[in-house]
Amino acid sequence: MVSASWIQGVAHRNIDFVNSCLLIPLEFNSKPVSVLEHQRAGPPHQEICVIRGSAISSARIRRCERPDESATSCDDEFCYMRAIQLLEPQQFRLIDIPEPTEPGPDEALVRVHRVGICGTDISGYLGKMPFYSYPRIPGHELGVEVVAVGSGVTNVKPGDKCSVEPYINNPASFASRRGRSNCCEELQVLGVHTDGGMRPLFKLPARKLHVSTKLAMEQLALVETLAIGCHAVARCAPEANEDVLVIGAGPIGLSVIEFVKLTGANLIVMDMVASRLEFCREKMGVKHTVQAGDGNEEKKLRDLTDGNLPTIVVDATGSAKSMSNALNYVGHTGKLVFVGITTDNVTFPHPLMHRREMTLLASRNAMPVDFGRIIQLIESGTIDTRPWITHRTGFDDLIGQFPSFTKPETGVIKAIVEVPN
């Protein structure tokens, strides 16, 4: 990353202004780099300046005041980059924010290449995410490149391509000391409690980066989604040939499906949307599906389980109604896992739970070890990410396209945003 003082040092070198572009021949650490470009953006006398080059590990966006066409330097007091912010439910806006400073001890500065849109983003947009605070820069499913690292960082280096574990915990907290960093009392999830990755650059603890030398940026952005399912399945620990029901075939449900399949359990998927069930059968290899909504769900499940009902049920809907009904589908001695989340109350008759001696489990986020495991599974071809990405959009188009991602009828499984650099 090029320092502000270095930029100031070259501001008075020979400059040619050609076709509204400011071209500066530069060297950095005795290596030639590319050019400093001025491009008009916004009101008169205001420009975006972008520095590019192999020795400069990121595109830097500068806003500078030009009193006239002959101005040739940028004032480092005005150093900004674009970001997408959710001001309040259903109100996105494009904003300018200051560039990050150099990374401190144990930190890494990363360049964002890809951002996945997930259920948390949609719930935040709709105002239905209980942990969400506004205004917020969203984005926690990220494929990034390391730009610079601070002192003490040994797990990553500039140029590494990484998936981001977006759960920023306090290692000294009670839950973290018990090995449960995913539900730390002071947890700050990127894009939920604190600003996320819908911006070109940001800093984070380097320990939250997981390197792959093989995966594409889109695949790296999918790792966090898969980690949610990985952790949920670890919570309920299905055995081979055990009957497992996954309710909800959205992205989180699909991630649960991926890891149930790896256990050898008998998998059943239930959803109200026929197209989602078709996707599960054709793309995910799911043999048994149940369409919900006709009142015969329990009978259909008994027919598939020799009358016993599944002994593990994972509800990935985030719907209070579905979560309340899910107990009806759990067999005796079974487990119910809530991996979705709702702002509403979940209610159920306690005698049903007591009579069947059910175990009720919550599954929140994922563990650090899940990220490394998933990267290996994708690299080896055990998990095929190709069916997942159904929609792509550019950074500049996201605000207009986002409402369509909230509608199941559009067929969105996973939308990926390309962040310009």
- Tens digit of each residue's pLDDT (9 = 90 or more) over 216-267: 999 999 999 999 999 999 999 999 999 999 999 999 999 999 999 999 999 9
Do 122 and 64 lie in a common domain?
Answer: no
**Residues 175-205: pLDDT tens digits?**
999 999 999 999 999 999 999 999 999 999 9
| pLDDT at residue 408 in the model | 81
Would residue 175 count as lying in a domain? yes
| pLDDT at residue 421 in the model | 77
Do 53 and 168 lie in a common domain?
Answer: no
| pLDDT at residue 32 in the model | 34
Residue 44 has pLDDT above 60, yes or no: no
Would residue 268 count as lying in a domain? yes
Would residue 140 count as lying in a domain? yes
> Residue 78: pLDDT band by 50, 70, 90 thresholds?
low
> Residue 270: pLDDT band by 50, 70, 90 thresholds?
very high
| % of the chain at pLDDT higher than 70 | 81
Contacts 24+ apart (CB under 8 A), 31-40: 31/55
**Residues 407-418: pLDDT tens digits?**
988 889 999 999
Nearest of 55, 64, 133, 125 to residue 99 by alpha carbon: 64
Residue 126 has pLDDT above 70, yes or no: yes
* Its pTM surpasses 0.85: no
Would residue 197 count as lying in a domain? yes
Would residue 358 count as lying in a domain? yes
Residue that terminates a domain, selected from 322, 345, 362? 362
Do 8 and 67 lie in a common domain?
Answer: yes
Widest CA span in the chain: 83
Do 61 and 132 lie in a common domain?
Answer: no
| Spatial separation of the C-alpha atoms in residues 340 and 364, rounded to whole Å | 9
| pLDDT at residue 79 in the model | 85
Number of domains in the chain: 3
Residue 16 has pLDDT above 70, yes or no: no
Higher pLDDT, 5 or 148: 148
Residue that terminates a domain, selected from 53, 78, 103? 78
Mean pLDDT for the chain overall: 85
Cβ 301 vs Cβ 290: under 8 Å: yes
Residue 395 has pLDDT above 90, yes or no: yes
What range defines the domain where residue 245 resides? Answer: 227-362
Do 235 and 151 lie in a common domain?
Answer: no
Residue 60 has pLDDT above 50, yes or no: no
Question: In the predicted model, what is the mean pLDDT of residues 333-338?
Answer: 98
Which helix (H) or strand (E) segment holds residue 81: the answer is strand 80-88
Helix (H, G, I), strand (E, B) or coil at 300: helix
> In 99-150, where do the E strands start and end?
107-117, 141-149
Would residue 381 count as lying in a domain? no
Do 274 and 182 lie in a common domain?
Answer: no
Question: In the predicted model, what is the mean pLDDT of residues 306-332?
Answer: 97
Name the amino acid, one letter, at 257. Answer: I
Residue 66 has pLDDT above 80, yes or no: no
CA distances from residue 266 to 286, 304, 358, 369 in whole angstroms, order as listed:
10, 10, 19, 26
Do 72 and 91 lie in a common domain?
Answer: no
Do 115 and 199 lie in a common domain?
Answer: yes
| pLDDT at residue 198 in the model | 98
Would residue 220 count as lying in a domain? no
Number of helical (H) and strand (E) elements in the chain, helices listed first: 11, 24
Do 200 and 326 lie in a common domain?
Answer: no
Residue 74 has pLDDT above 60, yes or no: no
Would residue 217 count as lying in a domain? no
